[in-house]
Amino acid sequence: MALKMVLLGAAAMAARATAQISNLPAFLQKTSDVVFPELKGIAVDIFNHPELGLQEYHAHDLIVDHFAGQDGWVVTPSAHGLDTAFELVFEHRPEDYDGELTTVGFLAEYDALIVGHACGHNHIALNSITAATLAARALVEFDVPGRVKVVGCPDEENGAGKAKLHDAGAFDDAEVWMMAHPTASSAIQPMNARLNFFPRFSGDTHQEAVRKAYEAMVIVDDLALPGTASSASTILNVGVYAVNVVQSQISLGVAGVELATVESTVDSILDDTFPGVSYVAREDADGVAVNITGPGGHASESTRGALDLSIETFRALSDDSSVSFYLPDNTTFTELEITIDMRTRYTLDLPDMADTVSDAIGSLASSVTSDLKYPSLEVPRVIGQSFIDLLATPDYGLTDWDFSDFAPASSDASWIQSAAVDPDTHEVLSMARLVFHPNYRICGTGEDDVCAFNHEPMFAEVAGSDYSYTQTEIIARAEAHTAIRLLSEESFYNDVTAIIRS
């Protein structure tokens, strides 16, 4: 990369910043006490007005309008050709410094799910705008030369918005980008690679199309997948659904079987491997309608939910050719589409995984399309360990952090990082840019506190709790602290960025 690290340019300036940096935690806390309430108000407003990807106009305007009123910030709304993207830039150049300003970037997300802010992106936005605000004020306070940039990134959940921004050059002016993602536990950990298939099934009748779709879902459930920690989750694209969100409600109709037989079949399947799942079966004009509800949640989770129970019910009854299946209240459709959410630990394994799934469903599908892949996000160890050590100090007081090899989900931030991994050992060889993406716990620890995993409807309740905002404030201060260290300590910056390829 052509970026050059020119930090202070003079030994005297470096010595001055180093001497003052010991006061940084106290300054950040004092400043946060002043600025965080208003910034939290923006995040609460975003939480109360959830918007799907590329529709985040309210969130965009809230953040842009706030920073347009702050001294020193250069604000670009609707950046890089995306209506709901933005850029915020703050520079500080001491009077006696004429060198190049190094940039540290922050990534903001603010898109919601169909079940509201059940992934906590209101907190990702809050973390970034808070950390950037604190870092900017610290640059001035300690007279450190530097540049802070926030990129507002739309549509992380479904459309890989950062891939579009990457192609537009939004991340070219910084080697280090930071964000933080709220979840149910704290860890520095990788994120898996992801690709979605959208097979479409056609039939001469509605019942034929439903049978083909469910046969395909049974096949996918039974597949032995290549790669490391690989999974393929299916979503039936009817009713309330979205890519990356497992359905919490699903209905399957069965014709040619009595109500009592359907009930006894479902009862024999429904056990404690389906936590929180329940059903009601009733006769309707076409047969027996089985309405199933469950916790829903993230496509990366292995917990069996409502759709899984419908698939197993189909499996148990489909051997009898006299039995047919339908979707209650949707029996006019003769084409159905499903989503196959494929995930694996390493990007290199996605092509083999996709071929395995495609070959398995074969001619059942009349057509198959796919979306943009999410490469795996790898862990930058040096900045990760520094962050863990910093959080454990009394100024931050979070000691429940460590590294983890488990990849709980995926992130389009991997497009910025573009990590190169050894195909045999899986050692991380290099990165185009360093992306620091810690996952932090926003679930309270009390007996009455709700704790759910991302994309479960109950996580939206967690993401609106007072405790969650308190945790985000701490993480934002720690990321601001890290940014100032990067901009004022040349040796730390060089150690952190050593993995970046030229």
Q: Answer for the pair 107, 153: CB distance below 8 angstroms, yes or no.
A: yes
**Can you give the pTM of this predicted structure?**
0.93
Q: Answer for the pair 250, 296: CB distance below 8 angstroms, yes or no.
A: no
pLDDT 10s digits, 373-417: 999 999 999 999 999 999 999 999 999 999 999 999 999 999 999
Distance of CA 485 to the CA centre of its chain: 27
For residue 94, the one-letter residue type is P
Looking at residue 445, its pLDDT comes to: 84
Give strand ranges (E) for 67-118: 73-77, 86-92, 103-109
Question: How would you label 143-180 residue by residue, b for 16+ Cβ within 10 Å and e otherwise?
Answer: bbbbbbbbbbbbbbbbbbbbbbbbeeebbeebbbbbbb
Reduced 3-state DSSP string for 134-160: HHHHHHHHCCCCEEEEEEEECCHHHHC
Q: CA 98 to CA 272: how far, in whole Å? A: 66
What Å distances lie between residue 177 and 280, 297, 345, CA to CA? Answer: 49, 28, 22
Q: CA 289 to CA 268: how far, in whole Å? A: 17
Average pLDDT, the chain: 93
For the chain, how big is the Rg over CA atoms in Å?
Answer: 25
pLDDT 10s digits, 439-498: 999 999 887 888 989 988 899 999 999 999 999 999 999 999 999 999 999 999 999 999
Question: How would you label 386-423 residue by residue, b for 16+ Cβ within 10 Å and e otherwise?
Answer: bbbebbeeebbebeebeeeeebbbbbbbbbbbbbbbee
Looking at residue 11, its pLDDT comes to: 42
pLDDT 10s digits, 414-449: 999 999 999 999 999 999 999 999 999 999 988 788
The residues near 99 (Cβ < 8 Å, ≥ 6 apart) are: 6, 7, 8, 9, 145
Residue in 29, 24, 366, 428 with CA at minimum distance from that of residue 209: 366
Q: Answer for the pair 327, 299: CB distance below 8 angstroms, yes or no.
A: no
Cβ-count burial of 202 within 10 angstroms (0-12 exposed, 13-18 middle, 19+ buried)?
A: middle
All domains of the chain, ordered by start, with CATH?
A: 11-191+375-499 (3.40.630.10), 194-370 (no CATH)
